[in-house]
């Protein structure tokens, strides 16, 4: 029985993710999610008592999947920070080439819900992006990058900006431009003291 409930829950989450990615949170109705999962609305509500509860569960599941993909992408680059950066942006370019690519679901939801700062989806998006930044920072520290925390934050900023610009312009050239900027960030910096 538990296995059947888990399978139903997984179908609901998959349907919700697919619809919310395409239409957004506000335009996706519980009826549509139930239909997408080939279930009745009553069955859906037996698993999730509200759309917000469903969204929170969906984002938790997506966080785990996205983190696993991000960690795998970073860990492929062995111990070379330049290769790590090139891999990140090359994978972003490849990801953005997918048909009907929609960018980061976490970013899209955070923007859609910008007027609701306390919404659970905003909190989950913040936690997700912080986890990405933390893992990148740890990886750069492992590679003995002197300013790993700062560099990770700036590289993530370039990644996010890149996703938005590729969505707006439909031009994957931005991935190469951002990769060059990120590689420049990894160059040793001039740390002279004094007032100038």
CATH of the domain at 142: 1.10.357.10
Radius of gyration of the chain (CA): 19
What residues make up the domain containing 70? 52-185
Note the pLDDT of residue 190: 53
Instruction: Indicate if 112 and 175 belong to the same structural domain.
Output: yes
Count how many domains the chain has. Answer: 2
Please provide the average confidence, as pLDDT, over all residues in the chain: 89
Distance CA 83, CA 64 (A): 24
Query: Is the confidence at residue 77, as pLDDT, over 80?
Result: no
Note the pLDDT of residue 16: 93
Q: What is the pLDDT of residues 102-161, one digit of tens each?
A: 888 888 888 888 898 888 888 889 999 999 999 999 999 998 999 999 999 999 999 999
Instruction: Indicate if 70 and 21 belong to the same structural domain.
Output: no
Instruction: Indicate if 73 and 159 belong to the same structural domain.
Output: yes
Instruction: Indicate if 24 and 62 belong to the same structural domain.
Output: no
Question: For position 4, which CATH number holds?
Answer: 1.10.10.60
Contact criterion met (CB below 8 Å) for 1 and 36: no
Q: What does the pLDDT average to over 169-186?
A: 93
Query: Is the confidence at residue 169, as pLDDT, over 60?
Result: yes
Instruction: Indicate if 12 and 90 belong to the same structural domain.
Output: no
Instruction: Indicate if 32 and 102 belong to the same structural domain.
Output: no
Q: What is the DSSP string of 43-100?
A: HHHHH-SSHHHHHHHHHHHHHHHHHHHHHHHHHTTTT-HHHHHHHHHHHHHHHHTSTT
């Amino acid at each position: 029985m538990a296995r059947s409930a888990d399978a139903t829950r997984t179908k609901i989450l998959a349907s919700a993710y697919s619809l919310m990615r395409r239409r957004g949170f506000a335009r996706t109705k519980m009826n549509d999610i139930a239909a997408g999962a080939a279930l009745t609305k009553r069955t859906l509500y037996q698993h999730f008592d509200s759309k917000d509860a469903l969204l929170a569960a969906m984002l938790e599941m997506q966080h785990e999947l996205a983190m696993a993909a991000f960690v795998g992408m970073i860990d492929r680059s062995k111990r070379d920070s330049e290769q790590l950066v090139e891999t990140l942006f090359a994978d972003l370019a490849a990801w953005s080439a997918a048909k009907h690519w929609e960018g980061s679901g976490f970013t899209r939801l955070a923007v859609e819900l910008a007027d609701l700062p306390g919404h659970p989806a905003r909190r989950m998006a913040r936690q997700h992006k912080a986890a990405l930044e933390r893992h990148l920072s740890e990886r750069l520290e492992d590679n003995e990058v002197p300013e790993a925390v700062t560099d990770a934050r700036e590289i993530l900023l370039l990644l996010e900006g890149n996703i938005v610009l590729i969505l707006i312009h439909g031009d994957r050239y931005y991935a190469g431009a951002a990769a060059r900027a990120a590689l420049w960030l990894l160059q040793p910096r001039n740390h002279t003291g004094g007032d100038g």
